[in-house]
Structures are given as C-alpha cells and as structure tokens.
Chain A
Amino acid sequence: MELQRVSLDKGADLIGFRKAVRGLVARKVPPDGVIWNAGGETDFFGTVIDEDAPPISLSRALGTMVDQVICHRDPQRYAMLYRLIWRVLQGERALLDIASDPLVHALEMMRKSVRRDLHKMHAFLRFRQTADPDGAERYVAWFEPDDYIVEATSNFFIERYRGLRWSILTPVGSLHWDREKLVIGPPGQRSDAPESDAFEAAWRSYYESTFNPARVNTKMMRTEMPKKYWLNLPETQAIPDLVRSAPARVREMIARGAAMPVKRNPDRAVAAMAQQEPQSLAELNNLIAASEPLVPGADHAVLGEGPEGAAICFVGEQPGDQEDIEGHPFVGPAGQVLLGELTALGIDRGDVYLTNAVKHFKFEQRGKRRIHRSPSTGEVKHYRWWLMKELSFVRPRLVVALGATAALALTGKPVSVTKARGERLLGDWPGYVTVHPAYLLRLPDEAAKQQALMDFRADLEKIKALAA
C-alpha cells in the first residue's frame, strides 16, 4: 500500500489527530503505512482525509492517554499514539494494563513528563500586578513550558483565580481571563509582561528567611526546581548569596554558643496563663455569644437563663424558632408545656436554670419557614464543653436531661431515654432523664398523649422531691 501522509497543526492538535485516526482506521492503514507531519506546514503531498469517516470508540483510559500525550513536544507522539490505538483495535484490548510493554511504557513516560511540565507551570508561574487601560488590576505572567500545555493548563488557573483579571503569556500562545471568559491568544514575549511587582521584595525576604542555613542541600533544590526555571522566578536571585553565606552563618552560630537570657523571667504573665478560662457565668456567656454557630442556621446564640445555685437545671435540645426570635430559652410551645407543668407544682421559671445542649437554632430554610433540624452527635459534642462549664458555675443539685440529645450532651455517650428514664448520674452530676416536652406535643393519638403527659408529670414530681 502506498504510504499515507498526514499533516497536523503545530502544538497539540487533538481535533486533527482524531480526524486522521478515523480516516486511517476506516481505510485499515497500519501504523507503518503512515508518515506524520506535526510541523504545521501544509504538506502538498499530504493525503486528503475522509471528512466523514465513522467515529471509533476508545476506552476512557485510552482517550485520556491520547489527550495528555498529545501535549508532548516529541514529534513522534502521533505515530506512537496511532500505533497504540491500532494495536488495541487489532485485539490487544488489555494493552494499557501491560505497563511493561515497551510502547505503553514509552507513552507512560511521555505522559509523566507532560504532567510534570503542567505541575511545574502551576508551581513556578509568577504573576505580576499591572493595570488595564480602564484602571482595573490585572495579573500578568510570562512562562516558558516545555510541552504544548498552555490550553491544558487554563482550567487550573481559572478555578484558582476566577475573581481576578489575568493573562499568561508564553512563546507558543497566551491565555487571557476577564473574570468571565477565556480568550486564547497568539504567542507573547517576555517584554510584554511587567518587569516587577510591589510584593516581589517581600516574597524574596520570605524566601531568604525561611531557609535554614544548617541544612544546605542544593542537590535536592535543583532536582525539584531545575535551573531552567530560575530566570522567571524572582526569588532565585537570592540563592547564590544564601548558599555562600550558609557555612559561615552556622559556624558563627555554634561559636556564639548558648546565650544567657537578658530579660528577667515574666513570672506574673506566666502565672496569669492559668487563669485563661472564663471565671464567671457572665464571662462564659460572653464567649458563647461571640462565637460562630457550629450548626447551620441561626447566627446568634440563645444563652441559658436562671439563677446560679438553682436547685434544678433543665437541659433541652436546642433553641427553636420562637426561642431564636425572642433570644430566650424555653419560650416556644414545648417550653410552655414544661413551665406550665412546673407552675402546677409550685415552681416558677425564675426558680430553675434553663439551658440547651446546643446553643444555636439548627434549621433549614424552606420558603418562609424555618424547619427545625436535630443536631447530629458530632454537633452536640462541639457544644459540650460550654455546657459542662455552664454547669460548673450554676452548680445545681439536680441536672435534668430533657430527651436524648440533652442526655448525650451531659454524658458524652448516646443514651436511650426509654431505657435510661429516671434518676441517674449524668457525667459527674446527680441527674434525671425524661422525655423532651416537644415529644408530648408530637404524639398524634390523644390517649397516648394523655398517658405521656401523666408520666411526665410523675417525673417532674420526682425531680422536685430529689432537688428538695
């Protein structure tokens, strides 16, 4: 068969290569029957490729291999890739799995080299700040990649610098981003990029200061940051001086020896460190109020309320919609049930301490409604330290866990209310476990609701007696 000649554009001509492969496969041209011209010049003897050859299906792994190797600078890449595709189509289905095959290995090395080039471009490209004619800031970089990776790299820089305007200039093409659209432009020149940047001196200072003269290892540095990149890396200007002065710096350090402190010991400040924790309930509450919510939803905390030294402390789950709006615990429907029952027992709101395991209202917004979401175990634990600290200031005679979340917060372990209901130690505190009053409101069956209410009342009576 006559030799087929294929001409492709300069660079990573994926479209041209795909089209060529389709045509060659359709005409059953073996790899040895093709001459690939990747120079971008029109080849007058070139074969006209059938525009409408049917597409061929390649595995995803093979497709990725083509996409990446095609960026390599080696002019042989098209021939090698076609040979690989040909062998797979000829029945060597698992060829890519055989990493020890010389062709697969060679292509794998090329792929690795392209990846490395991409990686080095992500790492060693340096932007310099300049301004567009309209005054908006723009960041411009000059970079010289080994392979045809300029387009392949664009996503990385868009994802990273979406909110900036930037341009990347290279000898083989340029990228321009205006915060919305990417424009692929013609090659640029080093002189098109700004000559300096206001932060370069600071960057170089950082580079010099983070170097440890006692561990000089320039071989490692050169392996990872080959000299060919240095021209575009402003910090590398510091290298000769750093290396030259390192031995003397270390010698001097060792010669100077141990130093006696010139300042006296800050004994009082050191002692004061022990006092860092909040010293009162008010201080603790300030901390809680100033902190970010650790559950999604509300933006402010609903703090515990009641007198320090109250005989009973009731711990609920978390503030609800009403509590969040009013900024007080136990003012919603469930709170009213609890407080109504307490009043019947002759206990006023002001007699007890009321607080929640989680100090923020966790909810999901649905239209205008805020739907209560139970906190997860992990979220309850985020708030545990605060609750423990709170109890240490209130020092109640009895801690009442209203529901499973409160019991979890108090003990640090999951607790089944049905099994644990009644008097028991909650952490270090004498405690009592009962249902959350919201449970009473949720029961659909009237008879069951009445029964549950009776049980709850009986619990509250026992609680009153225990705290007396």
Chain B
Amino acid sequence: MDDKLAAKLRTLADAAKYDASCASSGAPKRSAGVDGLGSTSNGICHAYTPDGRCISLLKILLTNYCLFDCAYCINRRSSNVKRARFTVDEVVSLTVNFYKRNYIEGLFLSSGIIRSPDYTMEQMMLVAKKLRREQGFAGYIHLKTIPEASPWLIEQAGRWADRLSINVELPTEQSLKELAPEKNGATIATAMGQIKERITEAKEDKRRFSPAGQSTQIIVGADTTTDASVLQTTSSLYKNYALRRVYYAAFSPIPEASAILPLKPPPLQRENRLYQADWLLRFYGFTPEEISSGGDNGMLDLEVDPKLAWALKNRHRFPLDVNTADREMLLRVPGLGVRAIDRIMTVRRHTTLRLADVARLTSGVKRLLPFLITLDHHPTKLSDRQDLRRLLVAPPRQASLF
C-alpha cells in the first residue's frame, strides 16, 4: 500500500475511533458464493487495542472534512485537525484486502458532511453497493446514516447495509441545540422512525433492509444530563424505534478541543454503569425509574453495579428461595445472570439446588450469598447486617493514570 493511502488511513481511522459501536452480529447467516468473499458470524473480535476495545470492523470515515460544527467532535469544521478523504474505490479495496487476511468482519463506514448530507450519504452508499455488487462481498457492513440526508437515500442504503445507525449524540434536545447547532432532534427522530418502519416491513416481506437492525450512540459526560435522564431517553428509544443497541460513549478529551467543552478524563466508570443499566432495561425487566432509584440524585452508584445498588435499597424483598422463586424475581438477584437463571429453571424440575449446585451455574456466587436461599444456605443473619453494603463493595482499585 502506498504511503499516501497509509497516511489517509491513519487520519481517517483516528477520526472514526470515538464511535463506540463495533458489533458485527445480528446479520442473517450468509456465506461466500463461488467467487465471492465473506460470511457473517455471531460477532468476532479480531483484535483488541490497549484501550480494551475490540476491533471487529474496519471503522473509518470516508472523509473527516465536515461542514457541521458539533462541539464534542474532533472533526467539526472549526477544528484544526488534519483532513483527508478516501475515494469510494479506496475504501472498497481496503475493506477487501483487510478482510482477505482475516483482520476484520467487515466495514463500519461513517463520514463528515461534505458538500451536503445527500452527497455524502450517496458516496457512503456507493461504497456498500460496490462491495456487494462488484466484489460479491458477503461480510458485515454498518453504515452510519446521516439523518439530514433525504429519505430516499436511507431507502437505498438499507438494501446494502446489515446495520444502519443514527447517533442521537446527546440525551436531550437542549444539549443538542447548544453543542450541535446543525443537528435537530426532530430530524433524527424522523429518520430513525423511517428506518424502523422499513425494517419491520421488510421483515414481513422477507426482503433485506438493514437486517441487523439499527443502533445509536449517546455521548455521556459532555453535558450535565443525569443518568436517570439518559436511561429515560434510552428506554424510550428502545420502545419507539425497536433499536438493537444503544451505545454510550464516555466523552473523551480530544485533540483540538473546543472551548465550550472542558478537557477532563472520560467518565469510564459511569459509562460502564450505564451499560450495566442498559442490560437491566433490556433483559431483566427493570424500569428506568427502578434503576435510577438505586443511586442518588439521578446518578448511578459508581461503587456497585446497578442491580446490586437496587437490591441494597430493596432489602425487604430478599432473600429469595432459588428453588421456588419466580423467574422474574430471580432476575433481580445480584450475581445471577439470564443464562444462569434459565439453567436454574431447568435444573429445578429435576432436583433441589444446594449452594454448591448454584456455584456451578453462575460465577457470581459471592454477590448472591445475602440474597438467595438454597437447600443448605439460609442467609437471614447476613441479609440483616447493617454493614452489608460495605461487605459487598469491591476494595477500591488503583486510580487511573491521571
């Protein structure tokens, strides 16, 4: 690969790295045709960078020139960052060559806005179309969709992509107005609504339109929104747009920062707690209000995970008997995950569980001790201890290097 292209790759990968979504799962099962290339999987991470994040897709921007001026973004038009632009063919060739060497599961393409949202979206769509049509590429394609682009471009993009996503970026309309002047909450909502409708219709017709669904990203820590409010937004996003995932990106200090946003370390633990809360919303039957009630003043407890935080504030509901409690209630027990509970429900039909049995079904035994009764474990004394929280809080970790 020539040096000029390599330099572009550096610039445009660097510019794309603040988007957290990297999933390559959820696409229908496909495999390469006779002369084709690629297949889909349940999500494979081909490498991990020292920030602990996985590389599953080639995550790049088509260009980081941008006419928008979003304060949190390194590529905003007022930033002095170095700029570059790939041609459609360069992205196609890079994707194919990386894929052939088993570096990636596919492409995650995003872009700064050049000329117009329509023009940009069309270029991105062309990349996906060329990969599918000319390269017989059956791997994963995720297109970051530009909500300001005309609806017909979304209609087209969904044909080639496995996933479309539109970032809501900021959890409230107010923050969006302040930090992303060219963006508009209503436009974003309309485009997400359009995608949702098309996905549902295509599923009914057994046609292909963004078969791995749509996702979004919320930046956390760039404004003053509370976790409670973020979770409310998330919950209504899942309900209204049938999103597959909401990603949370702790606002990270960027080079060439804007003056409106203070430079401070990213709130990584907060991001982590929000992901845990997100899981509780989707798989554990928690409401956003219940999760928020585990913390204080609308912020999640940073010391303990949100499920444990809720349990500690609702101690009158525990301990539960692992051999008789309903599935819905077991889902509330700290230390028990969905899979462990599914197994417990099956095993319960054949035998009565002891603590050692439970220990073989989950790795979270330490946390569940005060909350769960088994044939040989009755934690009444432990459950009633005043200092239970202190017992369960993990010893403080070494502070990060700031």
Contact = CB atoms under 8 A, between A and B. Distances in A.
Contacts of B47: 123-124, 207, 225, 233, 235-236
B393 to A, nearest CB: 19
B17 A209 contact: yes
A398 to B, nearest CB: 25
A256 interface: yes
B51 interface: yes
A209 B13 contact: yes
B187 interface: no
A261 B79 contact: yes
Interface residues of B, number: 100
Nearest to A295: B207
A213 B51 CA distance: 7
Given A160-B32, A378-B205, A209 B14 contact: yes
Interface residues of A, number: 92
A425 interface: no
Contacts of A269: 67, 115
Contact of A119 (B13, B44, B103, B116): B44
Interface in B170-201: 182, 197-198, 200-201
A85 B97 CA distance: 47
A34 B37 CA distance: 48
Contact of A270 (B67, B97, B351, B358): B67
A379 to B, nearest CB: 7
Contacts of A102: 360
B33 A225 contact: no
A164 B400 CA distance: 46
Contact of A377 (B13, B201, B263): B201
B258 interface: yes
Contacts of A381: 197-198, 201
Given A214-B265, A270-B67, A382-B155, A127 B52 contact: no
B62 interface: no
A287 B152 CA distance: 10
Given A253-B253, A376-B205, A379-B205, A294 B117 contact: no
B401 A202 contact: no
B58 interface: yes
B327 interface: no
B26 interface: no
B179 to A, nearest CB: 14
A276 to B, nearest CB: 4
B266 A214 contact: yes
A153 to B, nearest CB: 12
A70 to B, nearest CB: 22
Interface string B63-78: 0000100000000011
A257 interface: yes
A382 B199 CA distance: 11
B290 to A, nearest CB: 29
A275 B59 CA distance: 30
Interface of B: 1, 5-6, 9-11, 13-14, 16-18, 31-39, 41, 44-55, 58-59, 67, 77-80, 94, 97-98, 100-103, 113, 115-119, 129, 136, 148-152, 155-156, 159, 182, 197-198, 200-202, 204-205, 207, 209, 250, 252-259, 263, 265-266, 268, 343, 346-347, 349-351, 353, 357-358, 360-361, 400-402
Given A197-B101, A208-B10, A210-B16, 8 more contacts: A161-B37, A163-B35, A206-B98, A221-B52, A235-B47, A258-B259, A378-B205, A378-B207
Interface of A: 94, 97-100, 102, 105, 119, 122-129, 139, 141, 156, 159-164, 179, 197-199, 201-203, 205-221, 224-225, 233, 235-236, 239, 242-243, 246-247, 250, 253-254, 256-263, 265-266, 269-270, 272-273, 275-277, 287, 291-292, 294, 376-379, 381-383, 385-386
